[in-house]
Amino acid sequence: MNKNISSPPHKIIGVAVIWNDKQQILIDRRRPEGSMGGLWEFPGGKIEPGETIEECIKREIDEELAIDIEIGEHLVTIDHTYTDLKVTLTVHECKHLKGVPQTLECDEIRWVNLEQLEEFNFPDANFQIIASLKEKVGNRKQLNIQNPI
């Protein structure tokens, strides 16, 4: 057995699907430098020691976008391996409470409808988030539920 083969680093990431009152979702574009630069994403970040996923999401959204959110239901957890990184994305639907999103750690911010998400280039792992959102929203429509979270 070859002991020189190492697996890529593993990051546990809290991710927010943030809905506003217009039934739009907040996405942001990563800065061009760094991993997956220029791609769009749902905001969030790495969990810190001793932190819950919900605490991580609230902290990251405050640090990256300077807005207040309410953490809602767990949407999906995704394990994905890129060539240089393994990620576990724990995704919660969230509600925008107050503040205007700022581009503190990203290049651009957009509020988009669910149908518009396909127009943006996301990292591979994010496509499972979009699929989960479409399934959940479709189920809500069948049950005639208006509020996303």
Whether the predicted pLDDT of 3 surpasses 70: no
Kindly report, residue by residue over 40-74, the tens digit of the pLDDT.
999 999 999 999 999 999 999 999 999 999 999 99
Domain total in the chain: 1
DSSP 110-127: EEE-GGGGGGS---TTHH
Q: Is residue 149 part of a domain?
A: no
Instruction: Specify the higher pLDDT residue, 74 or 36.
Output: 74
pLDDT value of position 7? 77
Q: What is the DSSP letter of 36?
A: T
Domain housing 113: 10-144
List the beta bridge partners of residue 28: 41, 109
- CA distances from residue 120 to 56, 68, 111, 147 in whole angstroms, order as listed: 25, 25, 12, 24
Q: Is residue 76 part of a domain?
A: yes
Looking at residues 24-53, what average pLDDT do you find?
A: 93
> What CATH number should be reported for the domain holding residue 107?
3.90.79.10
Is 70 labeled as ligand-binding? no
Q: What percent of the chain has pLDDT over 70?
A: 89
Q: Is residue 5 part of a domain?
A: no
**Under a CB-based contact definition with an 8 Å cutoff, are residues 42 and 70 in contact?**
no
pLDDT value of position 37? 83
CA distance 91 to 110: 19
pLDDT value of position 35? 79
Q: Is residue 107 part of a domain?
A: yes
Is 37 labeled as ligand-binding? no
Q: Is residue 108 part of a domain?
A: yes
Is 118 labeled as ligand-binding? no
pLDDT value of position 119? 95
Is 127 labeled as ligand-binding? no
| φ/ψ (deg, to 5) at 10 | -115, 125
**Under a CB-based contact definition with an 8 Å cutoff, are residues 40 and 28 in contact?**
yes
Is 41 labeled as ligand-binding? yes
Instruction: Specify the higher pLDDT residue, 46 or 148.
Output: 46
Q: Is residue 57 part of a domain?
A: yes
Q: Is residue 90 part of a domain?
A: yes
Contacts for 132-138: CB closer than 8 Å, 24+ residues apart: 132/75, 132/76, 132/91, 133/17, 133/25, 133/75, 136/75
Is 49 labeled as ligand-binding? no
Whether the predicted pLDDT of 148 surpasses 60: no
pLDDT value of position 82? 86
Is 29 labeled as ligand-binding? no
- CA distances from residue 133 to 37, 94, 118 in whole angstroms, order as listed: 24, 12, 12
